[in-house]
């Protein structure tokens, strides 16, 4: 981490003052820095209980999240394909990224190698035991699990994919975010409407609820 900070003209602080140095680094690249991480979910399949890995990527400034893939085996081949999709020059989620922060999990070795060899994005490997440096990503996974995954039982990969997809749509378009001034990431055209009857809509059988005004 010290080398990354120095490369961008930021002198690393002593151990007891690491947070201000990291904050300075984030501020310097806020518009184009992304973060990625895995979370795991237990899914019941024909072969018994299987652990699935959900790979998510976040643009820190906007809090926009992209699910890069869901798999029971995040091996090198799978990770490289996920990277190809993420860095596609036309619609890849990371096509405009200057930095991508990752932790030291061995699952990210293939991702780090691909990004460094095939793109201009700089991979920032976080120090060991430093979850606070990936706080936005960690907080998103906490929301995903608390508001959705921990309340459901999954039978097969498709049911997990559907739940994650529905939650991401809810997170972007229907869930207010304190870190964004209590605004929506993707507000609809009538989000500020003052006329019309207020109605409640639901996702995932009523587990996710939101309110809107019916067009007058």
**At residue 197, does pLDDT exceed 60?**
yes
Q: What tokens were used for 174?
A: 């229907």
Q: How confident is the model at residue 4 (pLDDT cuts 50, 70, 90)?
A: low
Contact 65, 57 (CB under 8 A): yes
Q: What range defines the domain where residue 175 resides?
A: 31-213
Number of structural domains found in the chain: 1
Query: What are the two backbone dihedrals, phi and then psi, of residue 172, each rounded to the nearest 5 degrees?
Result: -75, -40
Query: 79-94, pLDDT tens digit by residue?
Result: 999 999 999 999 999 9
- Calculate the average pLDDT of the chain: 86
Contact 54, 157 (CB under 8 A): no
pLDDT at 168: 95
Query: 20-40, pLDDT tens digit by residue?
Result: 588 888 899 999 999 999 999
pLDDT at 19: 46
Cα–Cα distance for residue pair 72/47, rounded to 1 Å: 12
pLDDT at 192: 59
Query: What are the two backbone dihedrals, phi and then psi, of residue 61, each rounded to the nearest 5 degrees?
Result: -65, -45
Query: 142-168, pLDDT tens digit by residue?
Result: 999 999 999 999 999 999 999 999 999
- The answer to whether residue 11 is domain-embedded is no
DSSP secondary structure code for residue 111 in this structure: H
pLDDT at 16: 44
- The answer to whether residue 14 is domain-embedded is no
- The answer to whether residue 15 is domain-embedded is no
Task: Give Cα 194 to chain centroid, integer Å.
Answer: 33
Distances in Å between the alpha carbon of 206 and those of 82, 141, 185, 203? 32, 21, 22, 5
Burial of 51 (0-12, 13-18, 19+ CB in 10 A): exposed
DSSP secondary structure code for residue 122 in this structure: E
- The answer to whether residue 161 is domain-embedded is yes
DSSP secondary structure code for residue 214 in this structure: P
Read off the pLDDT of each residue in 166-186 and give the average, rounded to a whole number: 87
- The answer to whether residue 16 is domain-embedded is no
Cα–Cα distance for residue pair 124/145, rounded to 1 Å: 26
**At residue 10, does pLDDT exceed 80?**
no
pLDDT at 13: 45
Which residue in this structure is represented by tokens 């059988």? 205
Q: Is 171 helix (H, G, I), strand (E, B) or coil?
A: helix
DSSP secondary structure code for residue 65 in this structure: E
**At residue 17, does pLDDT exceed 70?**
no
Q: How confident is the model at residue 18 (pLDDT cuts 50, 70, 90)?
A: very low
Please state which of the ranges 2-16, 42-56, 122-136, 139-153 shows the lowest mean pLDDT. 2-16
User: For residue 36, which of 91, 87, 88, 90 has the smallest C-alpha distance?
Assistant: 87
Distances in Å between the alpha carbon of 47 and those of 43, 104, 150, 155, 197? 10, 30, 22, 11, 49
Please state which of the ranges 6-10, 76-80, 177-181, 204-208 shows the lowest mean pLDDT. 6-10
Report the CATH number at residue 92.
Answer: 3.30.420.10
Q: How confident is the model at residue 49 (pLDDT cuts 50, 70, 90)?
A: very high
pLDDT at 216: 58
- The answer to whether residue 20 is domain-embedded is no
- The answer to whether residue 10 is domain-embedded is no
- The answer to whether residue 9 is domain-embedded is no
Cα–Cα distance for residue pair 61/96, rounded to 1 Å: 13
pLDDT at 212: 67
CA angle, 176 then 97 then 177, to 5°:
5
């Amino acid at each position: 981490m010290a080398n990354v900070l120095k490369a961008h003209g930021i002198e690393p602080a002593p151990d007891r003052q690491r947070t201000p140095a990291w904050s300075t680094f984030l501020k310097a690249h806020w518009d184009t820095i992304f973060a990625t991480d895995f979370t795991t979910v237990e899914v019941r399949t024909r072969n018994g209980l299987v652990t699935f890995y959900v790979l998510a990527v976040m643009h820190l400034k906007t809090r926009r999240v992209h699910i890069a893939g869901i798999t029971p085996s995040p091996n090198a081949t799978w990770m490289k394909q996920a990277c190809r999709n993420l860095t596609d020059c036309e619609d890849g989620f990371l096509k405009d990224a200057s930095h991508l922060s990752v932790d030291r999990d061995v699952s990210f070795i293939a991702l780090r190698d691909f990004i460094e060899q095939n793109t201009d994005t700089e991979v920032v490997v976080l120090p060991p035991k430093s979850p606070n440096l990936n706080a936005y990503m960690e907080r998103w996974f906490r929301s995903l699990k608390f508001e959705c995954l921990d309340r459901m039982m999954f039978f097969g990969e498709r049911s997990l994919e559907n739940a994650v997809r529905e939650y991401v749509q809810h997170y972007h378009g229907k869930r207010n975010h304190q870190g964004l001034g209590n605004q929506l990431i993707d507000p609809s055209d009538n989000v500020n409407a003052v006329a019309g009857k207020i109605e409640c809509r639901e996702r995932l059988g009523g587990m996710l609820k939101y309110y809107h005004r019916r067009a007058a």
